[in-house]
Structure 1
Amino acid sequence: MSDGWVDHVIWWHVYPLGFTGAEPAAEPGRPVSHRLGHLEAWLDHLIGLGCNGLALGPVFASGTHGYDTVDYFRIDPRLGDDADFDALVKACRERGIRVLLDGVFNHAGRGFEPVRQALEAGSGEWVRWSGEYPYLFEGHDGLITLNHESPAVRDFVADVMIHWLERGADGWRLDAAYAVAPEFWAAVLPRVRERFPDAWFVGEMIHGDYRDYVHRAGLDAVTQYELWKATWSSLNDRNLFELAWALDRHRELTADLLPLTFLGNHDVTRIASRVADPRHVGHAVALLFFLPGVPSVYYGDEFGFRAVKEDRPGGDDAVRPAMPARPEEITDPGLTSLYQELIGVRRRHPWLTRAAITVEQLANEHVVVTAEGEGRLSLALNLGDEPFGAVGPHGWKLSE
């Protein structure tokens, strides 16, 4: 298992196709665009925040947004080639940065060769069928669900994982894990762990029984959507009882495993837009770095970027923006100093990753949460217009 290094990793999560300003769709015959190098100029910014992990969205050849993979062994030509990937990994290694890849193994694009052949034939073991029709992932015509009961699919996924771990990756985010039977991962991961026992595997789980899925699948972690939702919802409603309920669940979960915690990612509205009162965004950031788990910062959140995800074609574009050539070109630091301060707290108290948390005081508009491990820290949040103890109106405070 990967517990050693994961206890100390804080991810900076990037959606590469958006970050680098790549074209929205692949064009056959178009020359390779060497854009991955654009990320290298931002690695020192990652380190400057206090992060030490680069979580990459899809980097493999796809038709459009990266989640319709057509070649799992080739870097998307809109981003570069193998040499560009190797250079990025080398630049990360020189800075002590871990690398997490995004594996889209629930479904593939229609151009993925085994899928293309099956669709042409109207049958085939690589595709999950619904009668005579291929099973579409969440109704998307371009996303064909793979047949996870097929030995060929299982072998292929293991080979893909091993290949890129050999090339320098440290682990995998497993996209749409919630849609895959846990028995699939239980069959695939032991083969991968045999070669890479320190690799980390985190499944994207939006709902369901997180603990049960992790144990049945043999994963290390899942995405903590339940805590994410309770964070912004409780702040917006000024109902910290909702947060306290989620913290009770989080305490039970983190006694057993380390979930990936976050305030933003490529699929959700920016936290600065999601939290209705801008005075409370800092409360959310404080929770992220105070609570146990493996924290992830979505690129741009540290600058206070605002964007709303919309349920329409292209509705994700606003939360997946292109970034300038260098971080210095962003003139408004936004929340950068706040992120640095709170990540600094996490670095000085690394035991927070596995801390036991307790809600000490609770009302609609204020709460005190205590974390205990090798030390003891308390976080007080006040959403009200009046002071709460040593915390001013709409303020938060950490104390030992």
Structure 2
Amino acid sequence: MLKEAIYHRAGNNYAYAYNETTLHIRLRTKKGDVDSVTFIHGDPYDWTKDGWQTSRSLMTRTGTDEYFDYYFIAISPPFRRLRYGFELKSGTETLVYTEKGFYKEAPFDDTAYYFCFPFLNGIDVFRAPSWVKDTVWYQIFPERFANGDTSNDPEGSLPWASEEPKFNNFFGGDFQGVIDHIDHLVKLGVTGIYFTPIFKAKSNHKYDTIDYLEIDPQFGDKETFKQLVKVCHENGIKVMLDAVFNHSGYYFEPFQDVLKNQENSTYKNWFHLREFPIQTEPRPNYDTFAFEKSMPKLNTENPEVREYLLKVARYWVEEFDIDGWRLDVANEVDHSFWREFRTAVKSVKPDAYILGEIWHDSMNWLHGDQFDAVMNYPFTNAALDFVAKETIDARVFAEKMTAVLHMYPENVNEAAFNLLGSHDTKRVLTFCDENKNKMKLLFLLMLTFKGTPCIYYGDEIGMTGGNDPGCRKCMEWDEKKQDLDLFEHIQSLLSLRQNHKVLANDGELKFINADEQTLVYERSTDEESVWILLNAGQRTADLSIEIPEGYSNILGTSFSGSLPGYSFSIYRKK
């Protein structure tokens, strides 16, 4: 066995409290290197005249990625304390792996050899809001969803969809437009709306905030927003707002004061200013989002800034009963601020959802003291590479997803925010070169995967668009121009996910077969099992598997040993 590949640590995603009584333990080994792993465990204080009292339990291999196998066990220590190690076997070779290293035989003269989970404290359990696990989100870019009140249109607004989206054009989308079309969302089956920023700003995207406590006039007023939240809640739809606390807009009053008064400004410590006078060209001499001069970075270490932003965080929950915050550029804000942010928000609404925009490994933000979830871009990228771009095959996709699922604790995976496209990317159908059947497979993957999925407005009716600003077209409300077949496909998947929780987060996920462009995986609980089969290739594919006895087809093509190109089958057994 390759010792260098064997890895465990007593924390993070390898050892964690799943709930108040259960620990999850994982071990990593070289791919194909180990025949079995036995978990050696005991209470560190449980000694008799015969020595330390331990038990042995066989671990389960839960997945394989490109380089490693992963083993897992769930265990409930009677006294919530645990010392433990691993016995690995490969052929005639046996190794015992402990915190102190490797041994040929398990040492039992001292528990200090072993990994330690000192005590399962309930307050340390990662807890995302329970409702999130059953939520399907719908992302709305308010300026482009629907214009329900022309009286608040910005100056120079264009007739709806009269030209292609640009970085600086306006079409008058607003809150009333969302209220007017709430039936569309109910019919589709979504249960949460994620709004990109609604606060007063100069741009059409509103990520350059002028006033965090005021709604942009083009969207309506606070009474209209209250009505919108009320209508959403009456229809079983949660509401999540987008907050930009990493940076403000250029016209944010404190920054304007800095520009006016320079080093004499009372707000000079609200930002990261490197020198005076302030300069914007050729590059700003103050910290910004990227090098965007109109987005000066806020100094969240400043007590006045913290107080202001935490007031904002509480205000929209207290006054408007929103259900969550999506946090823009969350990885560039200090951890200390996010801990205070979580405390502030949860003190008002304990089951509010806190979602961070982070595109890389996010374990540092997911210990239960900061975010409930991050945006699952590793899923996005792998799904698009597999189905839309065809740059990886099913085996590589399964390996990448296995790595993602083992990157975080299970209770973190259950709240992960899965998406295929957004206001920052090409539209899904455009990624698919307008091959609708590919797009159907992508939604099948997302809506049968662990986590909480999100649909970008208009994707459900086949809208297209390139990168920003092309992905921000006006919503198409003419049914004759909508792809109703695609709508019904996504609607059917949402109905299945709602009626069979095994397809959401109640079920385990196991890859059964991955060959060329065909993929088979199972979602299962003790009571129910669902097999999902898909062919992401153009040609009919023969699969060397058989559906177990007792399963029946509930959606898609009936499987008889082969699958046509770009098709799928879903089978269920209860």
The normalised TM-score by structure 1 is 0.90
Is 1:222 aligned to 2:374, yes or no? yes
The aligned runs of 1:45-56 (5 Å cut-off) are 45-56=184-195
In structure 2, relative to structure 1, the CA distance for the partners of 1:380 and 1:288 (3 Å cut) is same
Q: Could you list the runs of 5+ residues in structure 2 that have no partner in the other structure?
A: 1-126, 148-152, 158-171, 277-284, 544-558
Aligned to 1:251: 405
Residue 211 (1) aligns with residue 363 (2)? yes
Q: Which moved more, 1:133-142 or 1:111-120?
A: 111-120
2:335 is aligned with 1:198: no
1:340-362 per-residue CA deviation (whole Å, 9 max, x = no partner) reads 11111101122433232121111
Counterpart secondary structure, 1:340: helix
Considering only CA atoms, is the larger Rg found in Structure 1 or Structure 2? 2
- Structure 1 letter corresponding to 2:418: T
CA distance in 1, matches of 2:341, 2:230: 28
Give the alignment of 1:320-399 within 5 angstroms: 320-323=472-475, 328=479, 330-354=481-505, 355-373=507-525, 375-384=528-537, 385-389=539-543, 390=559, 391-399=563-571
* One-letter amino acid of the structure 1 residue matched with residue 198 of structure 2: V
Equivalent position of 1:77 in the other structure: 217
* TM-score normalized with structure 2 length: 0.64
Match of residue 125, structure 1, among 266, 269, 286 = 269
Larger RCO of the pair (alpha carbons < 8 Å, separation 6+): 1
Preserved contact between residue 234 and residue 241 of structure 1 (Cα < 8 Å): no
Q: In structure 1, how many angstroms separate the alpha carbons of the residues matched to 2:409 and 2:486?
A: 28
| Residue matched to 1:44 | 183
After the TM superposition, which of the residue ranges 2-11 and 102-111 deviates more from structure 2?
Answer: 2-11
Asked if structure 2 preserves the Cα contact closer than 8 Å seen for 1:304 and 1:334, the reply is no
User: What corresponds to 2:315 in structure 1?
Assistant: 163
Q: Number of residues paired by the alignment?
A: 386
Say which SS state the counterpart of residue 296 (structure 2) adopts. Answer: strand
Task: Output the aligned Cα RMSD.
Answer: 2.2
3-state SS of paired residue (1:96): coil
Deviates more, 1:150-159 or 1:220-229: 150-159
CA distance in 1, matches of 2:255, 2:156: 19
Asked if residue 299 in structure 1 is aligned to residue 457 in structure 2, the reply is yes
| Contact 2:144 2:173 survives alignment (8 Å) | no
**Residue type matched to 1:81 in 2?**
D
CA offset digits 1:147-182 (Å, max 9, x no partner):
121112222121111111121210100011122232
Percent of aligned pairs sharing the same letter: 28
Instruction: Write the mapping of 1:10-49 to structure 2, written as runs, cut at 5 A.
Output: 10-20=136-146, 23=154, 35-49=174-188
Partners of 1:394 and 1:74 in 2: CA distance: 47
Report if the CA contact (8 A) 1:12-1:298 is conserved.
yes
Q: Using the TM superposition, give the Cα deviation of residue 145 of structure 1 relative to its aligned residue in structure 2, in angstroms.
A: 0.6
Aligned residue identity for 2:144:
G
Q: For residue 313 of structure 1, what is the aligned residue in structure 2?
A: none
1:93–1:241 distance in 2 versus 1, CA, 3 Å: same
Higher share of residues assigned strand = 2
Instruction: Determine the C-alpha separation between the residues in 1 that align with 2:379 and 2:275.
Output: 38
Residue-by-residue CA offset, 1:100-146 (whole Å, 9 max, x unaligned): 10111111101111222233333512112244532121111111110
Question: Deviation of residue 244 (structure 1)?
Answer: 1.0
